[in-house]
Amino acid sequence: MSSTLSPAPLLIPLQPEWLDRVVAVEAAAYTHPWTPGNFRDALASGYQAQMLVQGDRLLGYYVAMQVLDEVHLLNIAVAPDAQGQGCARLLLETLDHWSRLQSAKWLWLEVRASNTRARAIYERHGYRQVGERKRYYPVHHGERETAIIMSMPLYGPEP
């Protein structure tokens, strides 16, 4: 009897040839997903974008932008069939490490007020709510939802 081991997950730069898979995960994860053009623009702008892959399977990704001594997490998603397996934690840890290498002092993000699962993940990771943007995210039929602004300091060495 032989068993086939799955390859270990790898973090690699987000690459244009993976955009179809990225967009598919994005559409499965969000009610108002980024478009292929949003991802192409992020790559063209030189934003930090990493994918977590296992063989030819996309587990998740993030896109972040550095502004002076701050890094803003613009987008992060984990494929629905890979959720609950630590992928988000690994992506966030990778972002932390990269941000420290860039001498960033703070990480920032915005999350829908209704996305309690993501908010809990961010809080466990060390982010704290520092504000709100009322009526920021589109919901449907002209309605809008509050964005929760979260931040995490990156002072000192990695934990």
Q: What is the set of active-site residues?
A: 110, 122
Tell me whether residue 3 is in a domain. no
Tell whether residue 115 is among the known ligand binding residues: yes
Per-residue pLDDT band at 154 (split at 50, 70, 90):
very high
Tell me whether residue 58 is in a domain. yes
Residue 137: per-residue pLDDT? 79
pTM of the model: 0.89
Tell me whether residue 83 is in a domain. yes
Pairing verdict, β 128-138 and 106-112: unpaired
d(CA 147, CA 113): 6
Per-residue pLDDT band at 4 (split at 50, 70, 90):
low
Tell me whether residue 135 is in a domain. yes
Task: Look at residue 35 and tell me whether its pLDDT is greater than 80.
Answer: yes
Pairing verdict, β 128-138 and 57-67: unpaired
Tell me whether residue 158 is in a domain. no
Per-residue pLDDT band at 5 (split at 50, 70, 90):
low
Tell me whether residue 4 is in a domain. no
Instruction: Return the H-helix or E-strand segment holding 97.
Output: helix 87-101
Residue 29 near residue 76, CB atoms below 8 Å: no
Task: Look at residue 159 and tell me whether its pLDDT is greater than 70.
Answer: no
Pairing verdict, β 10-13 and 106-112: unpaired
End-to-end Cα spacing for the chain = 43
Tell whether residue 75 is among the known ligand binding residues: no
Tell me whether residue 50 is in a domain. yes
For residue 36, what are the domain limits? 10-153
Strand partners, 77: 61
pLDDT digits (tens, 9 = 90+) for 47-86: 999 999 999 999 999 999 999 999 999 999 999 999 999 9
CATH of the domain at 139: 3.40.630.30
What residues have CB less than 8 Å from 91, skipping those under 6 apart?
11, 50, 52, 60, 61, 62, 76, 78
* 3-class secondary-structure state, position 50: strand
Tell me whether residue 5 is in a domain. no
Number of domains forming the structure of the chain: 1
Pairing verdict, β 106-112 and 70-78: parallel
